């Protein structure tokens, strides 16, 4: 496949700034990376159409071998093309493309360095973000919390794009595949982009359910016990089609 090039003129000069900083990488994009990039762009566009982000907020990444493909900073997802592949190694060094990677790169890399994840989705979903401002843990309002490893924790607030935020996130993710970021949004990961995205959608839905139930005057929602969640977790191990 031909080398991937982007001149930066259609997205506010981001690609040109990367070149000026000497960050251009010229190795060829492998077929597996090109396929993964197409899936990544599709998922990023879906975060907008599903109302999980506004504009270019949020970000998506996929790991292919030791390369992490990630959405670039400040580029509208509907303007990304196959020639815009943006990739870094696990140290954060850019190895593919000229577009500047997302400012939340430390968050994504922290997940890949500490888990077996192959994809990460970060959103600013409305209901999840609202919940992150109210509690330290999403109350177990629905049994699908078990699909994320248990009650979803809220990572303590830190400035976006910082190592501090990444560290806070890792603590909240311990034993989980998703968490909330205080006054910020959500992070989910999975062994595939489909799984990571489904967990994002499920987390936002659970937050919406809890907010809705909690808003009824004079009533408090019934919550599930640790034992009930553990039972569901066991059942989910055998969920779905065989083979």
The alpha carbon of residue 189 and the mean position of all alpha carbons in its chain are separated, in whole angstroms, by: 6
The rounded distance, in Å, linking the Cα atoms of 151 and 179 is 9
The rounded distance, in Å, linking the Cα atoms of 158 and 166 is 9
What phi and psi, each to the nearest 5 degrees, are found at residue 4? Answer: -85, 130
Residue that the structure tokens 């593919």 belong to = 96
Is 104 a residue of the active site? yes
* β-strand partners of 137: 153
What is the phi-psi region of residue 97: left when phi exceeds 0, alpha when psi lies from -120 to 50, beta otherwise?
A: left
Give the H or E element holding residue 122: strand 119-123
Asked if 190 contacts 201 with a C-beta cutoff of 8 angstroms, the reply is no
Helix %, strand %, coil % for the chain, to 5? Answer: 40, 15, 45
- Of the candidates 3, 33, 39, 104, the residue annotated as catalytic is 104
Give the H or E element holding residue 105: helix 105-114
The rounded distance, in Å, linking the Cα atoms of 186 and 176 is 13
DSSP β-ladder status, 185-190 and 119-123: antiparallel
Residue that the structure tokens 């490893």 belong to = 149
Q: Which residues are catalytic?
A: 104
């Amino acid at each position: 496949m031909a080398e991937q090039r982007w001149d930066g003129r259609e997205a506010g000069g981001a690609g040109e700034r990367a070149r000026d900083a000497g960050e251009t990488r010229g190795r060829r994009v492998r077929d597996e990376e090109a396929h993964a990039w197409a899936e990544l762009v599709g998922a990023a566009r879906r975060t907008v159409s599903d109302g999980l982000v506004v504009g270019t907020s949020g970000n998506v990444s996929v790991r292919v071998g030791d390369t992490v493909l990630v959405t670039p900073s400040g580029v509208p997802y509907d303007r990304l093309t196959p020639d815009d592949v943006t990739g870094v190694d696990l140290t954060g060094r850019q190895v593919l493309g000229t577009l500047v990677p997302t400012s939340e790169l430390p968050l994504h890399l922290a997940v890949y360095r500490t888990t077996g994840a192959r994809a990460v989705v970060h959103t600013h979903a409305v209901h999840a973000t609202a919940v992150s401002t109210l509690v330290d843990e999403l109350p177990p309002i629905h049994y699908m919390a078990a699909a994320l490893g248990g009650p979803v924790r809220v990572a303590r607030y830190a400035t976006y794009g910082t190592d501090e935020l990444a560290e806070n996130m890792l603590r909240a993710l311990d034993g989980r595949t998703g968490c909330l970021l205080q006054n910020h949004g959500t992070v989910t990961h999975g062994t595939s982009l489909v799984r990571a995205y489904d967990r994002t959608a499920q987390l936002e839905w659970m937050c919406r359910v809890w907010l809705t139930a909690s808003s009824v005057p004079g009533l408090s929602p019934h919550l599930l016990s640790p034992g009930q969640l553990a039972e569901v977790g066991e059942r989910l191990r055998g969920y779905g089609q065989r083979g």
